[in-house]
Structures are given as structure tokens and as C-alpha cells.
Chain A
């Protein structure tokens, strides 16, 4: 079998390519893995129905008292800080992939909400915020009269 054939055959198994890449990345000699920071953090999912808007964000390992939430009638601002634990002198960092940083992000909501109705829960590293839409921004049923 020629060298080209050998390489081709081993490359066609993409699981193997992926696991080889993973092994190479794991042996990366630098302490911190350089990566492009997304400009928006945290990433959020927002969904709504006729009555409510629900926003979720992935924020694992944060002290919930350090999450700062500010709500306006049409937006929410999520702020906070992710930090690494302080290490004692006998132990040292070998790898740092988590991003330790302060963040703040404002998300515009699709409909106007009642700021008094906001409920926020932080569980298993997911922040879930529920808002009630104000009456005038809820969809209204229009009845059709037979003509």
C-alpha cells in the first residue's frame, strides 16, 4: 500500500482525526489556550409565548450573589465575574481553559415587560429569567363576524 493510500485510509475515519486532534490539543505546551473570545458573554436563548418571555444563559461555577441583574421595560443587563480559586503555594496551575473575567451584557427583549414580574433562578450553572409581557403587548384575539 502506498504512503498516500495509508494516509487517505487513516484520514477517512473522522472520529480518529478528531481524537488525534484532541490528543494534540491536550499536549499543547502553553499554560493558557488562546482562543477568540466571543464578543457577547454570556450567550443567551430567549423564547416567548403569549404571556411570558423566558431567557436562559449558561454561567457555570459563578457565585450567584455576584450575578448582577438589572431589568428595564424592554431589556435586561446581566453582569458578573468568573474567577478561579486562589491556589496555595504548594500547588500550581498546569492548564487554564476557563475564562476568568468580569462581564456585562445588555439584551433587548422582543416585547415590553413588567419589571415587577421578573423571576430569576440560578441552578446547575444555568440562569433562567422569566418576564411577564405587559397587557398592551400581549397578542389580542380578533373575532371574525360572519358577513
Chain B
């Protein structure tokens, strides 16, 4: 049998489904990204925008011609604009069974007292 070429065609990018919960102190997100794990997912935070990207490294093995083909293997990307002030260093991310869970703590700033200098 002749050697098969692995076609690295660019995959469709989907927006993963998300569940979001919020409290006074934190925002939690759950994103569905089947086929991905912590090695193939990238999370970044810049200027109040949280960006999540997932790229499958292995090539798609299912062929549309053989048998039933109901879903396509896709890459994922989604951005979220977060209105609250976020403690970026304390963002926690865990991934299990293709579900990404993010815990984003809010920065709670207490009011600062400003001293008034007396000018003579």
C-alpha cells in the first residue's frame, strides 16, 4: 500500500460553549473544548480581555468518506471582555476531559485616604 500523506489543512475554528458564574469576589468560566488538554490550550489576559485558544496538534484521523461523519474536529478560540478589575496573577485554570475551568479573582481595592497638605 502506498504511503499516505498526512494533510495538515487548517481546521475550522469554533467558539467553545461557555458557562459563566459571578460573585463579588470572582468570576468562574467553564468552556467545552473536546479533544484538548492543558498542552494544547493557551490562555492570555491583556487589557481586560481574556483570550482562550485551543489547537489540536495531531492531524485529524477521521475521513469523511468512510461511514458516518457527523462532526468535524475543530480548533477553538474565544475572547471575553471582563468589566471588573482582575487579579491576573491569581487566575487559576484547570482542564479535565476537554472541559476548561477558569477561576478569575477580582481585585478588591479598599478606598484610599488622601492626605491634604496644608499650604502656607
Contact = CB atoms under 8 A, between A and B. Distances in A.
A associates with B: yes
Chain A binding surface SS class = mixed
Range of interface residues on B (Cβ < 8 Å): 20 to 34
A137 to B, nearest CB: 14
B18 interface: yes
A46 to B, nearest CB: 4
Most buried by A among B25, B27, B99: B99
A22 B15 contact: yes
Interface of A: 22, 26, 40, 43-48, 53, 56, 58-62, 64, 84-85, 87, 90-99, 107, 110, 122-126
19 contacts: A22-B15, A40-B70, A46-B67, A46-B68, A47-B63, A47-B66, A53-B67, A91-B26, A92-B23, A93-B19, A95-B19, A97-B17, A98-B17, A98-B19, A123-B97, A124-B35, A124-B98, A125-B33, A126-B98
